[in-house]
Structure 1
Amino acid sequence: MTPAVTAERRRRHTLYFLEWAAAQRPVHLDTDIDMSRVLAHRAAARADGRRYSVVSYLLYATGRVLARHPGANAAMAPGWPGRLRRPRTVRFDGVTAKLALDRPVEGERTVLSALLPGLETATLAEIQERVDRYRGEQAADLPEFKGVRMLSRLPVPVGRAAFGTALRDPRRRAAAFGTVSVSSLGHRVVDGFHSSGGTAVTLCAGRVVDRPVVRDGAVVPAPVMRLGLTFDHRVIDGAAAADVLTDLHDTMEAFHEGADGTGPDPRGADRDPRPLRGLGQGTR
């Protein structure tokens, strides 16, 4: 029984989060993104000795898009629902992503949440540098995960109370949880998924895989990534969430060399106007 008890202790912060996030009202959207330009940029960068992960491109686009949609970079103020409280949302000045990580903590696989602030202005290289910080096997020992380690040691009633107190103020919540959640399972045979990360918008990226698409009346292969967007219906409505997803779709598909922070905004720059229409599952 000892191994089971150990695993439960490592997951206490996740269990506290799920209890807290149960108040959300999640609604799910998704879209397919043609990753041709992203992969071309990634290959060219690799030839120059630079390495960018797919999730870094998504983080880059997320920062720019949420800066253009401040209503989605927000949170429900504490105290709602309440008989004497009116609903109120808090908008955040900057974009901070909470990136979900699968990392070992004392020998047990655990979900850790790394914060990447300032995404609205960060370059692709800066984002990748931050992501690389959390790639190592010893990432759980970094000082930013001190709170997670502490929660695993506290008695459950104390840990639950400490977790709730830390999230009571929306500004402190942003510092602890970010303003948008990003998760990727694209390293496995996962085409798409949805989760609710405790923020107004949660983005879930699947794998990039060649799929048949229609361009100019012809069926051609294209590298496609399915992107899920879960939104908290208490904070934004479906039309606003659809606008965010559309902007993300267009920004990713229009990615070009200048998008690394050295040139103009990537939206619409040399963008292929031809529609991408999927014909099914495609190749694995």
Structure 2
Amino acid sequence: MPPLIDEPGFSRAHAGPSARKFARELGVDLTHVTGSGTKGRITHDDIKAFVKGALAAPGGGGALPAVPVVDFAAFGPVEAQPLTRIQRISGPRLHASWVNVPHVTQFDEADITDLETLRTKLKDGAAERGIKLTPLAFIVRACVRALQAFPAFNASLDATGANLILKKYVHIGFAADTPNGLMVPVLRDADRQDVYEVARQLGELSGAARAGKLSAAQMQGGCFTISSLGGIGGTAFTPIINAPEVAILGVSRSSYKPLYRDGQFVPRLMLPLSLSYDHRVIDGAAAARFTTFLAATLADAQALIEAVP
């Protein structure tokens, strides 16, 4: 659709006042519209059909502007390094999610002082069973509870965008840093596993990812994704939703902060949380309730090690 209206041509177009007003509201230049009414008179339906055609046309008004092509060698020495196979696959998917999904990120903190104390007490016993009891295992268990309490986060929009598909299963993906790039294995039926089984599967899936031995099935069917950068650093970030999921949790490095309790400041280990969500499905109030619930769940460490019925 042309960005400017040819005013002289617009005034000469064969259309009534109502159609002219409608065209101006939509920014349509009537000189480009073919009328189907009596003696070629332009109708409301003609204007609607023109707009639909313009939006559907390749390179129409909705197309993204191209990034300028730059000869970087003109400014100094360069080296071309091919993207990895994983980057070539994941890049377009991440771009599609960022362009098509309206992202909003809710930031929060969870007090994991008691959780870390409990984990430290239990990790040696878990190691004797061949299990590495990491903080991520507790975070997965907490996310399971949050997803059960807020079903809209464990859902996807259907192809029409008119219906929300609520999932009766809980498969949780987690970002794994590998020598070949970022991969997202999926922990299936996380709601049926206690923290030890979650930790065992996290270890097995992470090992398979690093060895390049993940099957396609082990990276499909996720309902919700966790991206944990706590082992590296950072205080917060904005993770990109793994569409068609509707939310992703980013976890940064925990640190001790002074919290005011019972009339004095006490050191507490705080975990930064960054929840990106699809604003078509989830509003800000729901996101704040989700992170508040998640933080409270992480603070109740003892409940996270209870047996799963």
Q: TM-score by structure 1 length?
A: 0.73
Look up the match of 2:44. Answer: none
Instruction: String of CA shifts for 1:179-206, please: whole Å, max 9, x gaps.
Output: 1110011112211212122221210101
How far is 1:92 from its partner? Answer: 0.7
Equivalent of 1:229 in 275, 290, 294: 275
What does 1:109-120 align with in structure 2 at a 5 Å threshold?
A: 110-120=181-191
Q: How many residues align?
A: 225
Deviation, 1:88, is 1.7
Give the Cα–Cα distance (whole angstroms) in 2 for the partners of residues 49 and 120 of structure 1: 20
RMSD: 2.3
For residues 153-177 of structure 1, the C-alpha deviation after alignment (integer angstroms, 9 at most, x for no partner) is xxxxxxxxxxxxxxxxxxxxxx725
Distance in 2 between the 1:202 and 1:188 partners? 19
Partner of residue 206 from structure 2, selected from 109, 130, 135: 135
> What code does the residue aligned with 2:236 have?
G
Tell me which of the two structures has the higher relative contact order, counting C-alpha pairs closer than 8 angstroms and 6 or more residues apart: 1
Alignment of 1:255-270 (within 5 A): 255-256=301-302, 258-262=303-307
Residue by residue over 1:32-68, the C-alpha shift from the partner in whole angstroms, topping out at 9 and shown as x without a partner, is 1111121011111024244311111111111121012
Q: In the TM superposition, what are the counterparts of 1:39-50 in structure 2 within 5 Å?
A: 39-50=116-127
Contact 2:86 2:182 (C-alpha < 8 Å) held by counterparts: no
Q: 1:244 aligns with which of 290, 298, 305?
A: 290
Matched residue, 1:57: 138
Query: Which residue identity is paired with 2:81?
Result: A
Query: Structure 2: how far apart are the matches of 1:19 and 1:54?
Result: 30
Counterpart of 2:170, as a letter, is: V
Structure 1 residue ranges (4+ consecutive) displaced by more than 4 angstroms after TM superposition: none
Aligned residue for 1:170? none
How far, CA to CA, are the matches of 2:254 and 2:124 in structure 1?
20
Look up the match of 2:174: 99
Deviation (angstroms), 1:121: 2.5
Give a deviation string over 1:90-112, Cα, whole Å, max 9, x none: 1111111111111013xxxx010
2:85 maps to 1:9: yes
Q: Which amino acid aligns with 1:68?
A: A
% same residue: 23
**Partner residue of 2:234?**
190
Deviation at 1:26, TM superposition (A): 0.9
Of Structure 1 and Structure 2, which has the larger fraction of its residues in strand? 1
Counterpart mapping for 1:60-71 below 5 A? 60-71=141-152
- Give the whole-Å Cα distance in 1 for the aligned partners of 2:91 and 2:298: 33
Deviation at 1:140, TM superposition (A): 4.4
Indicate the SS of the match to 1:136: helix
How many angstroms apart in 2 are the aligned matches of 1:146 and 1:88? 26
What is the rounded CA distance, in whole Å, between the counterparts of 1:74 and 1:140 in structure 2? 31
State the match for 2:255 in structure 1.
209
CA radius of gyration, larger in: 2
Deviation at 1:4, TM superposition (A): 1.1
- Residues 1:125 and 2:125 are matched in the alignment: no
Conservation of the 8 A alpha-carbon contact between 1:201 and 1:231:
yes
Structure 2 vs 1, CA of residues 26 and 210 (structure 1 numbering), >3 Å: closer, same or farther? same
> Which shows bigger deviation, 246-255 or 13-22?
13-22
Unpaired segments ≥5 residues, structure 2: 1-77
Equivalents in 2 of 1:24, 1:260: separation in Å?
35
